[in-house]
């Protein structure tokens, strides 16, 4: 693992990493357990990934914890996930403070149970001045819904003469998204072998590098994040330019 760390250029780590934490259910099923068992055992992966990202100098880490579509899952599983969210946030708050982690959340948070909203707001407020890394949980999140809401809010401002149609640009759209206080995603990681982005940060990942791994999320550890960042650093990010332009900084 030390060899992998030495291959990482700490001056060029991704500023913002987004992760689709996939495979909890399959991991549990493979052990003859219910899906909830997989979700509970995913916490170690979250802690180790957040710690590793922070150690490497990553400033923003966003985790897809619960999508708008996940509300359609069996009630038992949804209730267990919400309960797990509450207990985890309560338990981890002292660690967030000790490690200088700022906690953030994006999504239609009003749909969360009241006790989940309460503890989430408490942790967000308690960590708002922390500066090492911003750990964002995407909860009741769907990118299409996010974009639709942004369009509605911008439209209202146009009708009320607060915004001129001709003045609408990327910055204005960004400012009306859940992620208005986050930079664009540099690297998106999805675990479990699935290769799709599942309605996640569609606008924010316009130029992100996508990395897919067969590792199931509960098994995800420090060396796996190293692998993703090494792969990222071996790619040429052109943002629409040619390789020659990148080489000459044109």
- Asked if residue 73 belongs to a known ligand binding site, the reply is yes
Q: Is 27 annotated as a binding residue?
A: yes
Residue 223, marked binder? no
Half-sphere exposure of 196 (CA within 13 A, CB side): 2
Residue 153 bears catalytic tag: no
* Catalytic residue status for 22: yes
Is 198 labeled as ligand-binding? yes
Place of tokens 């760390």: 5
Residue 71 annotated as binding site: yes
Out of 9, 15, 41, 70, pick the active-site residue: 70
98 is in an annotated binding site: no
Q: Is 197 annotated as a binding residue?
A: yes
Compute the CA torsion angle 25, 31, 36, 37 (nearest 10 deg).
-130
Annotated ligand binding at 67? The verdict is yes
196 annotated among ligand-binding-site residues = yes
Q: Is 203 annotated as a binding residue?
A: no
Residue 140 annotated as binding site: no
* 8 A C-beta contact, residue 203 and residue 83: no
Please tell me whether 164 is known to bind a ligand. no
**Which of 42, 115, 36 has its CA nearest to residue 77?**
36
Catalytic residue among 22, 41, 104, 186: 22
- Binding-site annotation, residues for Mg(2+): 22, 209
- Binding-site annotation, residues for substrate: 23-27, 35, 39, 67-69, 71, 73, 190, 196-198
Active site residues: 22, 70
- Binding-site annotation, residues: 22-27, 35, 39, 67-69, 71, 73, 190, 196-198, 209
């Amino acid at each position: 693992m030390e060899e992998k760390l030495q291959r990482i250029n700490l001056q060029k780590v991704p500023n913002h990493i987004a992760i689709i934490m996939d495979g909890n259910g399959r991991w549990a099923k493979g052990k003859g357990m219910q899906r909830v068992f997989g979700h509970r055992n995913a916490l170690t992966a979250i802690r180790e990934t957040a710690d590793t990202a922070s150690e490497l100098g990553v400033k923003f880490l966003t985790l897809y914890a619960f999508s708008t579509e996940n509300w359609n899952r069996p009630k038992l599983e949804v209730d267990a996930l919400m309960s797990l969210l509450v207990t985890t946030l309560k338990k981890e708050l002292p660690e967030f403070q000790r490690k200088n982690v700022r906690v953030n959340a994006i999504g239609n948070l009003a749909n969360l149970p009241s006790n989940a909203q309460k503890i989430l707001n408490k942790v967000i407020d308690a960590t708002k001045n922390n500066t090492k890394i911003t750990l964002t949980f995407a909860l009741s999140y769907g990118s299409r819904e996010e974009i639709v809401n942004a369009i509605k809010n911008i439209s209202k401002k146009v009708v009320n003469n607060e915004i001129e149609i001709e003045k609408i640009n990327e910055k204005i759209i960004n400012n009306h998204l859940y992620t208005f206080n986050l930079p664009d995603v540099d690297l998106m990681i999805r675990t479990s072998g699935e290769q799709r982005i599942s309605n996640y940060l569609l606008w924010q990942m316009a130029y992100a590098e996508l990395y897919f791994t067969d590792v199931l999320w509960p098994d995800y550890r420090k060396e796996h994040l190293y692998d993703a960042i090494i792969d990222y650093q071996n790619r040429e990010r052109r943002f629409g330019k040619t390789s020659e332009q990148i080489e000459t900084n044109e």
